[in-house]
Amino acid sequence: DKKRPQRDKREIQFRSRSDKVNSDKVNNEFPKTEKISSGSIGEPKNKLPGNNEENFEYEVWGKNTLVVHKLHHFAHYTISVTACREVLEEETEMGKRNNCSAQAIFSTRTLPLNTADTVPYLNVEVMDSSNHSGDVLLKWEEPKSPNGLIVTYQIEYSRIDIENYKPLAVCITRRQFQNSSKSYILKDLHPGNYSVKVRATSLAGNGNYTESVNFYIQERQSISMLELLIITIITVFLLVGVGFLALIYHRKQMAQEIANSRLIASVNPEYVSTMYVADQWEVPREQIELVKELGQGSFGMVWRGIAYNIVPGHEKMDCAVKTVNETASDRERIEFLNEASVMKGFNTHHVVQLLGVVSKGQPTLVVMELMANGDLKSYLRSHRPDAGDDPTKQPPTLREILQMAIEIADGMAYLAAKKFVHRDLAARNCMVAEDLTVKIGDFGMTRDIYETDYYRKGTKGLLPVRWMAPESLKDGVFTSFSDGWGFGVVMWEIMTLGERPYKVSN
């Protein structure tokens, strides 16, 4: 039966005794060296056969330092230290029993031994040389006393008859090595001179390579001139075809790169355009009817509305309408419209759809698809067990939580593919539809509703510091990777049903 190797564990107990007090009944002369209760320094006490545990116990007199030699390399040791005073003859039994302090315990690991992970022996055998198969059998011995456990073996081989030939490496686990009778086969090598070497990787890192072993793979049986001619003709046709396809692919890639280069990063909210030009997204004001207020923020009001004939095939449909306060500055109106313009390029199921813009006249309106259950943060909080007496609002199940995570990830993957950096991914900016589909929200325009979630630094805009990646906080760098950090925070919000991240922090 194969047993999992035990990790080395050693235990050392130190007992320190302070100088004896002056007494007629106590000898005042103390030895100046260590007094060891179990043999000489470094000799294990009670070491069991076949067991990786070793116990040592030293008594140190008159000082508080001890150097222990000949410990095992890269091994865990648990050290406990107890300070004891001398026991006087006139003391009570209770005093004699309580002459030592409680143990101070800590664990440490010794340093690795540089040569411990070296493979001691490597054997190379060319297989089936008569058939010219190109297979080579490698066998080697494992390190006798490695630094912890051996994790993998790395095989590096290269051609020595070709200049500047880049070595190739193969990595196998120790289990694979043992399951293949402690060997490995290099398959289908081309004829030529080779060198190979092996090294082990333990918990302490890579060991030293073995000495390189050279071997030779013989030439395979030569082919006839007719076969060579046929192969040459086929190769030429293939190369021409591949070259033609590569040329077409290269031209398409160049055209796509030129198109993609027009959108390198998301809109910087600190530098917005001072002009908004109406386009095909412009909707006549009379085709939008405001029905019910959904929320009030410092930037404006969000309404439930009805849109007439703005979507082909839908004469009348429910929608959400975002407005700007009449007291808003021109810059705020332009920023509001520019943020809506970003949504014009998005067309996917898990990103909230823009339906139209009303930029002519006052107030400015942005029309979006209606998300009946509001933002994800409010939805999660309303489904807490202590949120109310409504029995229909139960916490989301594991399946529903996973569905939310998948839908948010799908929407963010779409934005990343469009080279758009959201910069403000949070539960408050994810919207929940009537069928509980979660979609990425309106890209910064919801920040006025949850202004307490943002931090204003100096005269700059509000920053969602609790959702920002470290590089964004430090250097102001926003990428798809920083959006990934925000996605992790959103997962935390979902699992805690809308709790505030780092709520104990200022």
Q: Which helix (H) or strand (E) holds 58?
A: strand 53-61
| Same domain, yes or no: 400 and 357 | no
pLDDT for residue 21:
33
Q: Is residue 306 part of a domain?
A: yes
| Same domain, yes or no: 203 and 240 | no
Tell me whether residue 424 is one of the annotated catalytic residues: yes
| Domain of residue 476, CATH code | 1.10.510.10
Q: Is residue 200 part of a domain?
A: yes
Q: Is residue 1 part of a domain?
A: no
pTM of the model: 0.45
| Same domain, yes or no: 427 and 385 | yes
Cα of 492 vs its chain's centroid, Å: 15
pLDDT for residue 407:
95
Q: Which of 8, 117, 375, 424 is catalytic?
A: 424
Series of mean pLDDT values for 10-residue runs along the chain (506 residues)? 45 48 32 39 41 75 84 90 84 78 90 91 76 81 92 94 90 93 90 93 92 86 74 92 90 73 43 67 90 75 89 88 82 80 88 89 87 90 82 88 95 90 89 92 52 48 82 85 92 92 74
| Same domain, yes or no: 498 and 412 | yes
pLDDT for residue 69:
85
pLDDT for residue 139:
93
| Same domain, yes or no: 149 and 209 | yes
pLDDT for residue 387:
73
| Bridge-based pairing state of the strands 53-61 and 9-17 | parallel
> How many domains does one find in the chain?
5
| Same domain, yes or no: 424 and 489 | yes
| Domain of residue 361, CATH code | 3.30.200.20
| Same domain, yes or no: 329 and 402 | no
322 is in an annotated binding site: yes
Amino acid at the residue 349: H
Phi, psi at residue 402, to the nearest 5°?
-65, -40
Q: Is residue 15 part of a domain?
A: no
| Same domain, yes or no: 363 and 431 | no
Q: Is residue 132 part of a domain?
A: yes
| Same domain, yes or no: 98 and 151 | no
Would you tell me the crossing angle of helices 480-495 and 398-417 to the nearest 10 degrees? 170
| Same domain, yes or no: 459 and 385 | yes
Q: Is residue 13 part of a domain?
A: no
Query: In 278-409, where do the E strands start and end?
Result: 288-296, 301-311, 314-323, 354-358, 365-369
Q: Is residue 344 part of a domain?
A: yes
| Same domain, yes or no: 283 and 179 | no
Give tens-digit pLDDT for 421-452: 888 899 998 999 999 999 998 665 444 444 45
| Same domain, yes or no: 272 and 257 | no
Boundaries of domain holding 96? 52-111
- How far, in Å, CA of 327 to CA of 164, rounded? 72
Q: Is residue 26 part of a domain?
A: no
| Domain of residue 204, CATH code | 2.60.40.10
